[in-house]
């Protein structure tokens, strides 16, 4: 019987992504656009992987547009979020660059099929709904930046 120590270590890979925190002033205060999946109940911020020679900003704008249906503009960078996961025999160390954004057009009904639902939610509701603490940290950075 082999133990965990006998197994070969996972190959390491770094992956880069970019996304956005889209804020707006709603009827009852600040709201943020979240993406949800019905099968596992997860709620996240929009993000994705660069295509070809895209810059991080171009990636963030495209991914937010595709995943939320919203046209947006970048207000300022929010820094990175990092995490890692195991996938098909390798350890992926992911670095996601986030940007504070505002809506300039579009509509959540125009989102792609990657997520089941796009919803504007109040900040307190977003804190409860977001699946991972790392997303709550990015939301806090966005709120701090938008207050300046």
Q: Are 13 and 54 in contact (CB under 8 A)?
A: no
Residue that wins the pLDDT comparison between 33 and 86: 33
pLDDT-derived band at 4, boundaries 50, 70, 90: low
Number of domains in the chain: 1
Q: Could you tell me the CATH number of the domain that includes residue 122?
A: 3.90.79.10
pLDDT in tens, 22-78: 999 998 899 999 999 999 999 999 999 999 999 999 999 999 999 999 999 999 999
Residue 76 resides in a domain: yes
pLDDT at residue 126 is higher than 70: yes
Residue 95 resides in a domain: yes
pLDDT at residue 3 is higher than 60: no
In DSSP terms, which residues pair with 74 in a beta bridge? 101
Look up the domain containing 123 and give its range: 10-147
Residue 87: what pLDDT?
85
Residue 1 resides in a domain: no
Q: What is the C-alpha separation between 118 and 12, in angstroms, rounded?
A: 33
Residue 2 resides in a domain: no
pLDDT-derived band at 95, boundaries 50, 70, 90: very high
Q: What percent of the chain has pLDDT over 70?
A: 95
Q: Are 99 and 72 in contact (CB under 8 A)?
A: no
| pTM for the whole structure | 0.90
Q: Are 14 and 93 in contact (CB under 8 A)?
A: yes
Q: What is the C-alpha separation between 97 and 94, in angstroms, rounded?
A: 10
Long-range contacts of 135-140 (CB under 8 A, 24+ apart): 135/44, 135/45, 135/81, 137/81, 138/21, 138/45, 138/78, 138/81, 138/98, 139/21, 139/32, 139/45
């Amino acid at each position: 019987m082999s133990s965990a120590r006998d197994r070969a270590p996972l190959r390491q890979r770094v992956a880069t992504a970019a996304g956005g925190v889209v804020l707006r002033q709603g009827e009852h205060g600040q709201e943020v656009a979240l993406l949800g999946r019905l099968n596992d109940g997860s709620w996240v911020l929009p993000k994705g992987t660069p295509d070809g020679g895209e810059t991080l900003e171009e990636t963030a704008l495209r991914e937010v547009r595709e995943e939320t249906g919203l046209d947006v503009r970048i207000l300022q960078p929010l820094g990175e979020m990092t995490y890692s996961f195991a996938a098909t025999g390798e350890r992926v160390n992911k670095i996601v660059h986030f940007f504070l954004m505002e809506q300039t057009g579009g509509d959540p009904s125009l989102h792609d099929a990657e997520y089941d639902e796009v919803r504007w939610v109040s900040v307190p509701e977003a804190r409860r709904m977001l699946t991972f603490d790392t997303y709550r940290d990015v939301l806090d950075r966005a709120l701090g930046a938008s207050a300046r």
